[in-house]
Every structure is written in C-alpha cells, then in structure tokens.
C-alpha cells in the first residue's frame, strides 16, 4: 500500500463519514471516489489503516469510521481550506459591516459562524488587557461631577463617574483632558496606566487634586477585568444533528456551554490568522474527549485581541469549518481596526 493511496483512502473515509453519518464500506468508496483500484484492494488498504489506528470498525460486518488519530492525519496532511464562495463572502461582509458597535460585531459574528459551519460557535469579547487606548473623554455633568469615558482600540467603551472636591471650569477641564490624552493615547493598557499615574505630580497645584481624581477613576476603568471572561455563544441547536452521540459528546458540551471560563479554555490561545484544530482528547477536558475545536485569534499580528471558533463532535467538516473560522476572524479584525 503506497503512502499516497493510504492518504487517499483515509480522505475518502473521512469525507463520506462526515457527509453520511454512516460507517463507510470499500464498495462505496470505489463507487464514489474513483480510487482506481478494486474493492478488494481497498479492503486491504482499510485493514492496514485499521491496524495503524486511523480507522476502526464499530461492529462486526459494518464499514469503517475514522478515529481521532485518523482525523488528526486528515487535518495535518490532507485537509485544504475550502475557498469561501462569492455568496458566502458577500454575506459575511454585508452582515458584519452593518454592525453598530462592539457588542453588535460580536453577536453578529457568532451567529454567522454557527450558520456557516452548522456547529456551536464561540466568540470571545476583546480582552481589556490586550487593547490600546484610543481616546479619553471628560464630560462635565455638574460643577463638581464629571463623566469619564475610556475608548479602546477594540471599540470597547468604559465609563466612570468622577466627583471632584472643587468646581472645575471649562478651561481647566480642557487642560486635564489634553494632559490625560497626551499621556495615554495609543498606549497599551498597562503602559497607559503607568503613564497616567505620574500626572498628578507634574501638573500645577491648582489642578493636581482634580487630575488625581480623574487618574483614580481612569485606573479603575483600565484595571476592570470582569468582562475579559465574556464570550458569546450561538448554534447550540446544531447539536441536535448529533443525537447518536448524545451521551458521549452532546450532553457534556451542552453542560460546558453554561461555563464561560470553560469555553475560554476550550478555545485556547490562538494567534491572529493561525487556525488551530484540537481533536478529541487533545483538548483540555477529559469529559469533552468526543468533541473537536477549530479556533483562531482576531486582531493583528502584533495584538491578538480575542479568540473565536467552533466546537462540536469530532465528526465535523474540518476544511469547511477551518475556512469559515478564518474568514470570520479576518472580517472581525478588519472591522475593529477601522472602528
């Protein structure tokens, strides 16, 4: 059995099993894939693949189904990313370009991804710690009350009320706004927090107290990590297609969807534009050993802002899922960069 034919037979088994949800026999492979050899030869090839652990026979007289090892070889050696159709690309662009804010971008992205892949889609909100400061606005609500608005590179907005001990004039407020933005605009959160903390010491005494109060509120906004664990989920109904795997794959996954920390760990760390695939037991949770995850980061090559992907039973369309995950991540990255 040549290596090339072995890979061709394995590819055919994976594709047929994903498409039909039925164990695959040698005769069907020959008829559907034009392998150029007899069913007897294919049966011998399948015996070799089974001996090497790439496929297995679920019960006597049945065809063969891929193992996790078989899926792994398929993804590593055989799977080429399916090009998105023109209609799919237009749908992605139209849907995401109409988003009005960060929440809308995330919600549209997760729904779109679940529709494209027919899997459960997960999108992590951009993390605060990976963002840069775009602008800080100060709005006077009352003589001694300000609204501080922190706008980040991801389009995320944090707001804080600032009560001042003394009244703040329009000119003083403009001066504080200018000084704060000069210190933090364009800086990563950690660097911005360090820079702004120095401001009270370098302004005049008449502004030091007001600047100190603004700096305290800004530092609180920059260090608020509560929403860094937020994810959006869509497509749980797609799991109904895998009722035959309910106890091994569907039930544990449905339970996991309730825990955002679990989902974040399931997605893992992924660099922007690098699609990762974790199959079965390669994942971090033994109870989810019958599931696979296709994920990637979004942002740019220097600043990955978050992760998105799909999760489902190991019997999934890996090339199609990988292509959809990559395409949606690229559109999200572009939208956030232009925001």
**Alpha helices per DSSP H over 223-284:** 251-256, 260-267
CA–CA distance from 141 to each of 145, 162, 167, 256, 335 (Å)?
6, 10, 11, 44, 32
Segment (H or E) for 151 = strand 145-152
Q: What is the pLDDT of residue 34?
A: 83
Rounded (5°) CA angle 201-190-202: 10
**Alpha helices per DSSP H over the chain:** 3-20, 26-33, 39-51, 68-73, 86-97, 102-117, 170-184, 189-197, 199-202, 205-222, 251-256, 260-267, 318-338
Residues 6+ apart with CB under 8 A from 105: 96, 99, 155, 332, 335, 336
Q: What is the pLDDT of residue 67?
A: 96
For 86-125+230-338, CATH number? 3.30.450.40
Q: How far is CA 173 from the centre of its chain?
A: 40
DSSP SS3 for 24: strand
Q: What is the pLDDT of residue 225?
A: 57
The closest of 303, 293, 294 to 333, measured between CA atoms, is 303
For 3-78, CATH number? 1.10.10.10
Instruction: List the chain domain ranges.
Output: 3-78, 86-125+230-338, 130-226
Q: What is the pLDDT of residue 324?
A: 94
The closest of 291, 294, 292 to 252, measured between CA atoms, is 291
Beta pairing, strands 55-56 & 276-279 = unpaired
Q: What is the pLDDT of residue 81?
A: 73
* Contact predicate 182/160, CB 8 Å: no
Residues 6+ apart with CB under 8 A from 70: 10, 13, 14, 49, 53, 54, 55
DSSP SS3 for 81: coil
Residue 8 has φ and ψ, to the nearest 5°, of: -65, -40
Residue 63 has φ and ψ, to the nearest 5°, of: -75, -165
Residues 6+ apart with CB under 8 A from 262: 256, 285
* Contact predicate 180/216, CB 8 Å: no
Q: What is the pLDDT along the chain (339 residues), one digit of tens a residue?
A: 688 888 999 999 999 999 988 999 988 898 888 888 888 889 999 999 999 999 999 887 778 999 999 999 999 987 667 778 888 888 888 888 888 888 899 999 999 999 999 999 999 988 777 788 999 999 999 999 999 999 988 778 889 999 998 889 999 999 999 999 999 999 988 899 899 988 888 887 778 889 999 999 998 888 865 556 789 999 999 988 887 778 888 888 988 888 888 898 999 888 777 899 999 999 999 999 999 999 999 987 667 888 999 999 999 999 999 999 999 999 999 888 776
Q: Does domain 130-226 have CATH number 3.30.565.10?
A: no
Using CA atoms, how far apart are residues 154 and 306, in angstroms rounded to an integer? Answer: 10
């Amino acid at each position: 059995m040549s290596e090339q034919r072995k890979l061709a037979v394995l590819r055919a088994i994976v594709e047929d099993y994903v498409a039909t949800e039925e164990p695959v026999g040698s005769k069907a492979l020959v008829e559907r894939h034009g392998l150029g050899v007899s069913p007897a030869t294919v049966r011998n090839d399948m015996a070799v693949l089974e001996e090497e652990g790439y496929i297995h026979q679920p019960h006597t007289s049945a065809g063969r189904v891929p193992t996790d090892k078989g899926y792994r070889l398929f993804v590593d050696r055989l799977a080429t990313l399916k090009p998105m159709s023109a209609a799919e690309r237009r749908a992605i662009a139209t849907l995401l370009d109409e988003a009005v804010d960060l929440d809308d971008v995330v919600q549209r992205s997760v729904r779109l991804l679940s529709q494209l892949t027919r899997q459960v889609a997960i999108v992590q909100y951009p993390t605060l710690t990976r963002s840069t400061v775009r602008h800080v606005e100060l709005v006077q609500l009352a003589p001694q009350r300000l609204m501080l608005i922190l706008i980040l590179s991801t389009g995320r907005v944090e707001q804080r009320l600032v009560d001042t001990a003394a009244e703040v004039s329009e000119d003083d407020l403009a001066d504080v706004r200018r000084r704060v933005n000069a210190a933090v605009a364009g800086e990563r959160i950690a660097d911005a927090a360090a820079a702004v903390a120095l401001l009270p010491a370098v302004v005049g005494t008449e502004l030091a107290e007001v600047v100190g109060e603004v700096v305290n509120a800004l530092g609180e906004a920059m260090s608020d990590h509560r929403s860094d664990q937020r994810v959006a989920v869509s497509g749980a109904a797609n799991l109904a297609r895998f009722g035959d795997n309910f106890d091994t794959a569907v039930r544990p996954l449905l339970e996991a969807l309730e825990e955002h920390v679990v989902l974040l760990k399931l997605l893992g760390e992924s660099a922007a534009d690098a699609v990762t695939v974790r199959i079965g037991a390669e994942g971090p949770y033994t109870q989810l050993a019958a599931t696979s995850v296709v994920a990637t980061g979004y942002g740019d090559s220097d600043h990955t802002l978050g992760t998105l992907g799909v999760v489902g039973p190991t019997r999934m369309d890996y090339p199609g899922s990988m292509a959809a995950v990559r395409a949606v991540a690229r559109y999200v990255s572009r939208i956030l960069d232009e925001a």
